[in-house]
């Protein structure tokens, strides 16, 4: 069953402006966690606000739990949509206690039933012992968990999280994303998680939706998004990717670092680009090498080398921390990924060529 369906949604803030969300269709299965990722201004938060009911679409429809909540002639307010929202700033009421904040959205419960639901939600996030405190008496991580408990308390059909970790320092951010993901898994909640951080998107989502200029570039499993990007934009945004120009030949793709023995469904002579990441590039120190080391970035267990090719193009290579080469070192550069590289023509991924039949099976 689908918990959320978005059909051809479009939203403009002014008639003359480009759409913030442009003819976007997407669905989320019940119990699924979807990460929405893209650069600033791509429409991520607007999309969340359309689902929540804080914005009205110009076209398209929103269906939550099989019930249409937005569309032509219909726009239900947020409190009638069965959604829980965790805001970037948490948006806790400073004059209400932790328990009162969590109970704020429990409109249909009174008395002991209301108290039980508040305690249940606080127990889920491990904060039952601070239910009488005020928000300013809590740490940032605790405030975030209160916001999550408040979103979960009414048993929503969908929980929406708008960059909930952005106000936390790096170490707490890692801890909290682990905790939040575990809590959402425990409750079986359907969640839509917005972020601009690639690592968070890959960690949090059962699926990832990549947005660009208000449009959906690609949606799929994290592995599919990372390893088989549908467009050059997705490849560039997901994975610190370099692009190596090449020319299609009968034997593969000819590049300035050599022939890549990978056949694609394009005619010989076609210009393409290969997406190569740092772990796809091998280096060997050699005076006759075509590459020149420009810099080394120390990452603890590994080094990333930045290398200039004869054309002036830069590639990055991931190497062991024990390999220490100074700037100016000449190196042989090869693309040796051990797997097919993503190949793009006019910004779109090119399919691999079908293997040539030898007639042996005839």
Average pLDDT, the chain: 93
Instruction: State the SS3 of 279-328.
Output: HHEEEEECCCCCEEEEEEEECCCEEEEEEECCCCCEEEEEEECCCCCCCC
pLDDT at 166: 86
What integer is the mean pLDDT of 126-139? 94
pLDDT attached to residue 360? 52
Strand partners, 319: 303
Percent of the chain topping pLDDT 70? 98
Tell me, what's the pLDDT at 110?
Answer: 84
pLDDT tens by residue, 97-122: 999 999 998 887 788 899 999 999 99
Q: How confident is the model at residue 358 (pLDDT cuts 50, 70, 90)?
A: low
pLDDT band at 172 (very low <50, low <70, confident <90, very high): confident
Q: What is the pLDDT of residues 54-63, one digit of tens each?
A: 999 999 999 9
Which residue segments constitute the domains of the chain, with CATH numbers given?
Answer: 2-229 (3.40.50.300), 240-349 (2.40.50.140)
Q: Looking at residues 333-343, what average pLDDT do you find?
A: 93
Q: How confident is the model over 260-265, as a mean pLDDT?
A: 94
Q: How high is the pLDDT of residue 211?
A: 97
| The pLDDT value given to residue 170 | 83
Which helix (H) or strand (E) element contains residue 157? none
What is the per-residue pLDDT for 362?
42
More confident residue, 239 or 50: 50
Would the pLDDT of 39 be above 50? yes
Number of neighbouring beta carbons within 10 Å of residue 59? 16
**What are the CA-CA distances from residue 60 to residues 13, 63, 69, 160 (Å)?**
15, 10, 11, 20
| DSSP-derived secondary structure for 25-41 | EEEEETT-EEEEE-STT
The number of beta carbons lying within 10 Å of the beta carbon of residue 65 is 18
Residues 262 and 253 sit within 8 Å (Cβ to Cβ) = yes
Is 60 exceeded by the pLDDT of residue 7?
yes
Give pLDDT tens digits for 134-170.
Answer: 999 999 899 999 999 999 999 999 999 999 988 888 8
Neighbours of 100 (CB within 10 A): 16
Mean pLDDT over 318-339 rounds to: 95
Give the confidence band of 274 by pLDDT, cuts at 50, 70, 90. Answer: very high
Per-residue pLDDT reduced to its tens digit, 23-35: 999 999 999 999 9
Confidence at residue 251, expressed as pLDDT on a 0 to 100 scale: 94
């Amino acid at each position: 069953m689908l918990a959320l369906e978005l059909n051809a949604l479009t939203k403009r803030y002014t008639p003359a402006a480009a759409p913030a969300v442009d003819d976007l269709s997407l669905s989320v299965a019940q119990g699924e966690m979807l990460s929405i990722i893209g650069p600033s201004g791509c429409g991520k938060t607007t999309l969340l606000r359309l689902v929540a009911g804080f914005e009205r679409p110009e076209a398209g429809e929103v269906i939550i739990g099989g019930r249409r909540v937005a569309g032509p002639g219909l726009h239900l307010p947020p409190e009638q949509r069965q959604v829980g929202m965790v805001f970037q700033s948490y948006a806790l009421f400073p004059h209400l206690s932790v328990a009162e904040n969590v109970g704020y959205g429990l409109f249909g419960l009174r008395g002991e039933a209301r108290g039980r639901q508040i305690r249940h939600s606080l127990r889920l996030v491990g904060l039952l012992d601070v239910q009488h405190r005020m928000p300013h008496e809590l740490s940032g991580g605790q405030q975030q968990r209160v916001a999550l408990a408040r979103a979960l308390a009414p048993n929503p059909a969908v929980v929406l999280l708008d960059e909930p970790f952005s106000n936390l320092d790096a170490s707490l951010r890692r801890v909290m994303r682990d905790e939040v993901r575990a809590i959402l898994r425990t409750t079986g909640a359907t969640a839509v998680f917005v972020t601009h951080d690639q690592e968070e998107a890959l960690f949090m989502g059962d699926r990832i939706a990549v947005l660009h200029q208000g449009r959906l570039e690609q949606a799929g499993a994290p592995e599919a998004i990372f390893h088989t990007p549908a467009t050059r934009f997705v490849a560039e945004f997901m994975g610190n990717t370099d692009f190596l120009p090449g020319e299609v030949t009968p034997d593969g793709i000819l590049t300035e670092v050599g022939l890549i023995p990978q056949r694609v469904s394009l005619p010989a002579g076609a210009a393409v680009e290969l997406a190569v990441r740092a772990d796809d590039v091998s280096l060997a120190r050699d005076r006759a090498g075509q590459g020149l080391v420009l810099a080394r970035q120390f990452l603890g267990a590994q080094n990333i080398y930045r290398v200039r090719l004869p054309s002036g193009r830069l590639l990055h290579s991931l190497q062991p921390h024990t390999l220490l080469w100074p700037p100016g070192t000449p190196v042989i550069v090869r693309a040796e990924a051990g797997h097919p590289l993503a190949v793009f023509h006019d910004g779109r991924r090119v399919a691999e060529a079908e293997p040539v039949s030898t007639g042996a099976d005839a």
